[in-house]
Amino acid sequence: MGDSRPDPRILGYLSSAREDAEIIRYDILGSQAHVLMLLKTGLVSKTSARRILGALSEIMRRRRSLFARSGSTYDGKNAGGAASAEDIHEFIESLVVERAGAAHGGRMHAARSRNDQVALDIRMKVRDNINAMCGHILDAAESMILFASNHRRTVMPLYTHLQQAQAGLFSHWLLAHADALLRDYERLSGAYTRVNKSPLGAGPVGGTSLPIDRAYTAELLGFDGILENSLDATGTRDFAAEYAAAVSIMMSNLSRLAEDVVVWSTSEFSFVELEDDISSPSSAMPQKKNPDVLEITRARAAEAAGYTGAILGIVGGLASGYGRDLQRTKPLLWMVSDAGVSALLAVQSVLGGMRVNKVRMRRVAEASDLVALDVAERLVLECDVPFRTAHGTAALLVQHARAIRKSVRKMTMGDIRGALRKGGAADAKQPPAASDPKILHAITSSLGPVSSLRNRVSRGSSGYAEQRRMISARKRTVTRLRNALEERKKGVDEAFASLKKQAKRV
């Protein structure tokens, strides 16, 4: 067959060394755990284990210099170090053999394949990414909740279809986005339980005839257990797709927040103003403050969705078992993670440097007909009018108020009579209160955004009392989730510390 070495250009095309930089540490940790298991089961001698673990420890200490790339992995020229290898697993094994000798280092790869090895490394990397992402989510949610504490009485209009709908509080808007982030935390934490299963020892696809202890390596690496079926363990990337999807959903939530702030920072709204250091001036128009950070957040949300779609496309197009296609899920995962963390940090910066125009928000709320629903509900509550009838009466008042260029709450009794007459309500067969100008005037003149919010009592509403309760409850939730996250991280850290200690002991 002649020289079996591939063309350098083909090697560059096949190599994953560039993306594998993210999993070097995990590959070494996995190898250490694997060697300890081989020693425990008698598959390697103590001498071989000592030599291999010594080499791995040295590689761990010097990994930054050892894995520094020279040249390009794609043109095949001047490539050295990790860049000249097909992947990081091959390169680390070659370094171990070089340092420990072939008689010892050549024993390290017994009872495993690169298929279960790479699946292990990705799971450990994604596991840490989830914990880091969850920490940033809690930081962002907590900043929103604290911001909300300062705006429990900041009146603003709430919107549906970008049309003014009801009077609300700025704290309510903040809590809505904090709640979405807390659900993102829950989604990622749910994914963590499925990520945190060890595939190591599954072999290429069907297991091994060697007497290994998969549960032992899983314990050494801080996993909750093993991914039992060897075919599933090596070939699946559903955990990667689930993680990417959870991050993409989080990004879509942040994108919606970004869109709100972009709109509200326009001169037409002027609800908020962005600090100079989180906005950009125009190259030609000096009066402008462009919300570039928020616009990039919207774009990166679309990118994350694209990466997730690509992962699903790769995984969904494969037959059972390992396919080299799966190699390309790694860079997509790293890009999804980068997009998520960057967006969380950016949004925190935006909220931390955003001035809220309380006067403008309240003025808009008071000038509009946000009390229309309150008129209908007062008729229901105080006058026993069926809601649909009350809704129709309130609609008549709003239509006439707009025709005479007044707000509903500024209408006189004569204006109300005109509205009822114009709508034919006065002659209709309906409860008297729904067509009584005196009753209607008493209701409309007593209503406003503040009274509306004071009367809002449904659980989770934008009422003053509910805001106090929800803010306190969210603070407790963040504390509880942060404690749970620290316990989760502690479990992994303790496993790695124990692994290091056991490797040293050998």
pLDDT digits (tens, 9 = 90+) for 245-291: 999 999 999 999 999 999 999 999 999 999 887 766 555 555 567 89
CA distances from 235 to 14, 40, 104, 129, 397 (A): 19, 28, 30, 21, 65
| pLDDT band, residue 97 (cuts 50/70/90) | very high
Averaged pLDDT score across all residues of the chain: 91
Residue partners of 154: CB distance under 8 A and separation at least 6: 169, 170, 171, 356, 358, 361, 362
Kind and range of the H or E run holding 12: helix 8-14
CA distances from 484 to 189, 220, 246, 402 (A): 10, 21, 19, 54
113-117 average pLDDT score:
96
Secondary structure (DSSP) of 190-220: HHHHHHS-B-TT-TTTT--SS---HHHHHHH
Q: List the structure tokens of 421.
A: 């007459």
> What is the pLDDT, as a whole number, of residue 431?
72
Please name the residue that has the structure tokens 């616009």.
Answer: 295
Residue partners of 74: CB distance under 8 A and separation at least 6: 9, 12, 13
End-to-end CA distance of the chain: 43
Q: Which amino acid is at 100?
A: A
| pLDDT band, residue 435 (cuts 50/70/90) | confident
Share of the chain above pLDDT 70, in %: 92
pLDDT digits (tens, 9 = 90+) for 486-506: 999 999 999 999 999 999 999
Backbone φ and ψ of 168, nearest 5°: -145, -170
Please enumerate, as own/partner, the contacts of 44-47 that have beta carbons within 8 Å and a separation of 24 or more: 44/107, 44/108, 44/110, 46/506, 47/104
The catalytic residue among 4, 65, 161, 283 is 161
pLDDT tops 80 at residue 214 = yes
For the four alpha carbons of 492, 497, 500 and 505, in that order, the dihedral sign comes to negative
Cα–Cα dist 214/217, whole Å: 5
Q: Is 491 helix (H, G, I), strand (E, B) or coil?
A: helix
> What is the pLDDT, as a whole number, of residue 75?
36
Q: Which amino acid is at 247?
A: V
> What is the pLDDT, as a whole number, of residue 9?
78
Are the C-beta atoms of 506 and 46 separated by less than 8 Å?
yes
> What is the pLDDT, as a whole number, of residue 281?
56
Which ranges constitute the DSSP H helices of 6-84? 8-14, 17-20, 24-40, 46-61, 63-66
177 belongs to the catalytic site: no
Q: Is 78 left (phi over 0), alpha (psi -120 to 50) or beta?
A: left
Please name the residue that has the structure tokens 């020693």.
Answer: 39
The catalytic residue among 45, 70, 72, 282 is 282
Closest CA to 114 of 314, 318, 323: 323
Between 11 and 193, whose confidence is greater?
193
pLDDT digits (tens, 9 = 90+) for 369-426: 999 999 999 999 999 999 999 999 999 999 998 999 998 989 999 999 998 888 775 5
Are the C-beta atoms of 476 and 178 separated by less than 8 Å?
no
> What is the pLDDT, as a whole number, of residue 368?
87
> What is the pLDDT, as a whole number, of residue 427?
52
| pLDDT band, residue 41 (cuts 50/70/90) | very high
Domains in the chain (CATH in brackets) are 8-105 (1.10.275.10), 114-365+469-505 (1.20.200.10), 371-447 (1.10.40)
Please name the residue that has the structure tokens 């100079």.
Answer: 276
> What is the pLDDT, as a whole number, of residue 434?
77
Please name the residue that has the structure tokens 């990417």.
Answer: 244
Cα–Cα dist 58/96, whole Å: 9
Q: List the structure tokens of 193.
A: 């339980």
Backbone φ and ψ of 273, nearest 5°: -130, 135
CA distances from 205 to 27, 28, 213, 234, 478 (A): 19, 22, 17, 6, 42
Of the listed ranges 28-37, 207-216, 267-276, 298-307, the one predicted with least confidence: 267-276
pLDDT digits (tens, 9 = 90+) for 329-368: 999 999 999 999 999 999 999 999 899 999 999 999 998 8
Closest CA to 322 of 223, 237, 426: 237
Kind and range of the H or E run holding 160: strand 155-160
Cα–Cα dist 434/423, whole Å: 12
Q: What is the pTM of this model?
A: 0.91
4 belongs to the catalytic site: no
pLDDT digits (tens, 9 = 90+) for 44-84: 999 999 999 999 999 999 998 887 743 333 333 333 455 56
304-333 average pLDDT score:
95
pLDDT tops 50 at residue 131 = yes
Cα–Cα dist 37/48, whole Å: 13
Q: Which amino acid is at 468?
A: R
